[in-house]
Chain A
């Protein structure tokens, strides 16, 4: 089992460009979570899918961020018109079915740098 796979590991974009981050959950896991990690904010919840359906996107900045899960094997986080404050490590995690007592398995993250 390869674990949660996130690509790319590093992404550098210019201000105003679009960035798409990819996540492949552990095979058989039906819940996928996205987080943004910064030193100041820690791990900020962004959004959460279960069985490919969006369940809770209360952490997503509404204007430029969007997430999709077109099939059970991958999810994407898209940031339009990137700004320097979007620079962070974006972490994807999966769990078996999304119950409250389940552990999350994290990927190594995508480090986004907006110049």
Chain B
């Protein structure tokens, strides 16, 4: 079945540094990939999404490129801020039922 893998459980960085959060996926269907962000005591909300191969998508300073050849959709930002501290989930909609499956999440902790 469809699955999403996020390899990092916790990423800790000093503000101003670049970050990349890894996401790989498995599906036999045409994939639609998402990144959701969940701040403390809040609901997850969409950060960005894509289904176009090799095209960069951006939102709020974050960007990601779907690479179907490597089944990856890594999230990047060139300079993290304290307010970026949150839980980040990669998600996939790829099945014939359009259910959305999520990875285990990566907690990003930005230090002053």
Contact = CB atoms under 8 A, between A and B. Distances in A.
A104 B49 contact: no
A91 B101 CA distance: 13
A103 B99 contact: no
B39 to A, nearest CB: 12
A107 B42 CA distance: 9
Interface stretch (B13-21, B61-69, B72-80, B90-98): B90-98
A45 interface: yes
A43 B6 CA distance: 12
Contact of A43 (B49, B51, B105): B105
Interface residues of B, number: 26
B112 interface: no
Interface in A62-115: 91, 98-101, 103-109
A61 interface: no
Given A35-B102, A91-B44, A106-B45, A100 B94 contact: yes
Q: Using C-beta atoms within 8 Å of the partner chain, give the interface range for chain A.
A: 20 to 34
A100 B91 CA distance: 11
Contacts of A56: 95, 97, 99
Contact of B89 (A3, A43, A105, A107): A43
A61 B45 CA distance: 26
Contacts of B46: 103-104
B51 A107 contact: no
A57 B19 CA distance: 36
B97 A55 contact: yes
Contacts of A42: 6, 89, 102-105
Contacts of B32: 100-101
A103 B50 CA distance: 11
Nearest to A40: B104
A58 interface: yes
Given A43-B44, A104-B44, 7 more contacts: A33-B100, A41-B104, A43-B102, A45-B100, A99-B98, A101-B51, A106-B43
Interface of A: 3-4, 33, 35, 40-45, 48, 55-56, 58, 91, 98-101, 103-109
